[in-house]
Chain A
Amino acid sequence: MLTNEILQQRLTEKFGELVYNFEQPYGMLTFVTDRDNNLKVMNFLKESEDLGFTFLNDLTAVHYPDQLGKELAVVYMLQNIQAGLRIRFKVFTDITHPDVFTATGIFETANWLEREAYDFFGVNFVGHPNLIRIMNVEEMDYHPLRKEYPLEDQTRIDKDDDMFGR
């Protein structure tokens, strides 16, 4: 029976110092790896017979403006469907050169999810076959889910509701 502890052990055996910050928030094993290793870790989790994380559950990005040099996190979540076990790992990248290798070669699922992360956060997935915006218009020149952008466009002049402090 596959458990978080076995998983952690297998990962540290294989990658040693390259995987770190193991946690189990709300029961899900979570760890961090360097951005150059994301595909190696993913391949290991997917292809190892005894692990079998053959399902990419989710992929998204998070922006932490206060972590200098590691502003953007890309979060992967994989699942072993037979064992009903999920695992999450993150890679951090700086915001000036947010280059992360694409997972599209391993999971087709990653294609649109990476496009979404690119659209919202500007993560540059190196090697992605079609890295263009997915939700927003092509002409947009910023990545709206980054924390520096307020909810509403502050330059709008057609709304006059000073009363409510917008």
Chain B
Amino acid sequence: MSQKQNIQLPEGSLGKQTTTLNLGPTHPATHGVFQNILEMDGERIIDAVPTIGFIHRAFEKIAEHRPYYQITPLTDRLNYCSSPINNMGWHMTVEKLIHAELPKRVEYLRVIIMELSRIADHLVCNSVIGVDTGAFTGFIYVFELRELIYEIFEEVCGSRLTTNIGRIGGFERNFSELAFQKINHFLSVFPKAMKEFETLFNRNRIFMERTMGVGGIAAERALNYGFTGPNLRATGIDYDIRTAHPYSGYQDFDFSVPVGTTGDVYDRYLVRNAEIWESISIITQAVKKIKELDPSVFHADIPDFYLPEKADVYTKMEALIYHFKIVMGETAIPAGEVYHSVEGGNGELGFYLISDGGRSPYRLHFRRPCFIYYQAYPEIIKGSMLSDAVVTMSSLNLIAGEIDA
């Protein structure tokens, strides 16, 4: 706006050259409650101020008043695109606190569930990038596959989105034969469909033009901003909790950590796709490994924390005592502070737990990956077009539930 326009403004009017635009909180292109107050010069973004907290539910406060096993449903509602990872992360944090050793089979079963939810999470994110660049087909296409994953969750734990899957010490029940059939069915049909999905997008001219060089961030800045997960790996840093701090038996699996170079939307998309392929490989290995293990094991032998079989509660004295102690919160829990993190769908999901020996945590802090990296959003979109800001937002895999906790 360098040219002086030939308009005589009345005395006292604002000589403002830019427009303030509210993007969100209920804009359909923001996929959740995100508000950004943008300062626009025409189509170009000069500044952005994100506002968050629209669905803040004070989980950290609620957690201080709940026994450990009742905190699992809270974690469901963080990143609800991959709830099982959050659930397992929480179980593992408590297991670390109480020094519980888990049988290999439980760890591998968890790996299967976690990798399935990673695939579901990445599918949503990647296909939504497609939607925001004008290609709806891929989105509809992969949701059929995501449905198969949700059917597996349903078979294992009874629910689909907010799963509350597993218990401290293992699973609440063993995997049924049908569950394994469904996993195998998924493994047989998914790769073909995934290839087709990639064919739709990877070398699609329009998609490439819309995403390459858009929303990029340098590795150094990403690290300074606390990026984790695929968004960090797209910049070229191979930081993956599964390899850096292995948990749940990930060290037994053979997989690689895909990285990108430029850290733009297209690289994030490619990294997620590559991760989906790695996840499939991990699940295949896990299914194979499980066949060699005792099929009756589905929880650790920690009667102080793991609820006994209901039939035993009615017939066995010991089971009744443990059941009572767990439900009434009479189990001794060690005091201490523990940090455990898992590789969530969008980054490092950490649980910082301080126990004073009481039945509920003294303090529980969730390290939510997208809360931390969302603060880089203004820097990323400054100088870009409004339509690029929308694509950038969906490529960052921002989940409002996780940001606001």
Name A residues whose Cβ lies closer than 8 Å to a Cβ of B.
Answer: 25-26, 28, 30, 54-58, 60, 62-63, 75, 77, 81, 84, 86, 88, 107-109, 111-113, 116, 120, 133-136, 144-145, 151
Contacts and interface: CB of A to CB of B under 8 A. Distances in A.
A30 B352 CA distance: 13
A112 B405 CA distance: 14
A81 B244 contact: yes
B120 to A, nearest CB: 26
Contacts of B64: 151
A160 to B, nearest CB: 21
A134 B226 contact: no
Contacts of B405: 135
9 contacts: A30-B337, A60-B365, A84-B244, A108-B226, A108-B375, A109-B226, A112-B372, A116-B371, A145-B61
A83 to B, nearest CB: 9
A84 B365 contact: no
Nearest to A28: B339
Contacts of A54: 223-224
A25 B338 contact: yes
Contacts of B52: 134-135
B352 A60 contact: yes
B61 A144 contact: yes
A107 B220 CA distance: 11
A120 B372 CA distance: 16
Contacts of A88: 339
Given A86-B339, A108-B226, A135-B56, 18 more contacts: A25-B336, A26-B336, A30-B337, A54-B223, A58-B339, A58-B350, A58-B365, A60-B365, A62-B354, A84-B245, A109-B226, A109-B372, A109-B375, A112-B374, A112-B375, A135-B53, A136-B56, A151-B62
Interface residues of B, number: 39
B266 interface: no
A28 B340 CA distance: 10
B288 interface: no
A133 B362 CA distance: 23
Contact of B239 (A25, A81, A107): A81
By secondary structure, the A interface counts as: mixed
A26 B98 CA distance: 11
Given A109-B226, A109-B372, A111-B375, A77 B352 contact: yes
Contacts of B223: 54-55, 81
Nearest to A144: B61
A56 B226 contact: yes
Nearest to A112: B375
B237 interface: yes
Interface in B3-58: 52-53, 56, 58
A37 to B, nearest CB: 21
- Between B58, B62, B337, B354, the greatest number of chain A beta carbons within 10 A of the residue's beta carbon is seen for B337
A34 B59 CA distance: 30
Given A77-B339, A84-B244, A144-B61, A26 B96 contact: yes
A100 to B, nearest CB: 17
Interface in B309-348: 336-339, 348
A145 B52 CA distance: 18
Contact of B371 (A56, A62, A112): A112
B224 A151 contact: no
Interface string B151-180: 000000000000000000000000000000
Contacts of A107: 224, 226
B363 A62 contact: yes
Given A57-B350, A77-B339, A134-B52, A151 B65 contact: yes
Contacts of A28: 339
Nearest to A81: B239
Contacts of B348: 57
B290 interface: no
A58 B353 CA distance: 12
B141 interface: no
Contacts of A81: 223, 237, 239, 244
A136 B53 contact: yes
B225 interface: yes
